[in-house]
Amino acid sequence: METYQENQPVESSGFISASELLAFISPLVALDSSGKVRYASPTFLAEFALEKQQVAGQQLEEVLPWPSESIESLQMDLRRVRASGIPRLENRELEAGNRIYGYSVFALRNGQALMIKDITEIRRLEAEVDLLHSRLLRVQEEERQRIAAELHDGVGQTILAAKINLVSYKKHPEKGGFDQGVELIDEASQELREIYSNLFPSSLREIGLPAAINRLIRGFLEPRGCIVD
């Protein structure tokens, strides 16, 4: 019967060893009841640039290259799990220097296990997304204000002028005003078409963005004597 040794290459056996599996999980360290390191995963050693002989039997604060206040924050959660019997504390965070770490504490029979992950990049990306979202909301609000101003100062005023002409014609037909009122309504209709065309030009759907931009630029500049390339 064929057997597989722990150090046998994955390619030749198709199986992954326990040590290779541990290399894929988040940095993990196991502590005894006095807070000394019993085990450190390969990812933990790699995360903090440590060697096995540097961590075995050491207190956690002697192993982690963090400021004392960050260590104390972590130690408080370790003591809490140890003293209260809470099975685990998950999704905790702390700052250590210019890095942000997320961690979870798990109770063991004679100590605790600590899983740590550097989430600095994740938090940076989240902050960028929040900033972009805020900018998007601001742009949307500015666009709404612009459209409202166009409707009020342009179309709204034109319709009001048309109404005044038509009301005047109704009261005094002999003075005219009907044709001018109709012309103003046509003008308001044209202004509305321009507004919704600017919001979503039909050319975007029909010919795509590059060609629509080309048409817009040529339509704006060429009548003004500009040569467009």
Residues 25-35: tens digit of each pLDDT: 778 899 998 88
Reported as a single tens digit per residue, the pLDDT across 167-191 is: 988 888 888 888 988 999 999 898 8
Q: Cα(40)–Cα(114) distance, rounded to whole angstroms?
A: 10
In the predicted structure, residue 135 carries a pLDDT above the cut 90: yes
Span 70-105, pLDDT tens digits: 989 899 999 888 888 788 888 899 999 899 999 999
Cα-based torsion angle of the residue sequence 117, 120, 122, 124 in order, rounded to the nearest 10 degrees: 170
Q: Which two tokens stand for residue 82?
A: 């140890």
Residue-range domains of the chain with CATH: 21-118 (3.30.450.20), 124-224 (no CATH)
* 33-70 pLDDT per residue, tens: 888 999 998 889 988 888 888 888 999 889 898 888 89
Report the phi/psi class of residue 85: left, alpha or beta, with left for phi > 0 and alpha for psi in -120 to 50: left
- Cα–Cα distance, 71 to 78 (Å, whole number): 10
pLDDT at 1: 39
C-beta separation of 82 from 57 below 8 A: no
Q: Give the pTM.
A: 0.57
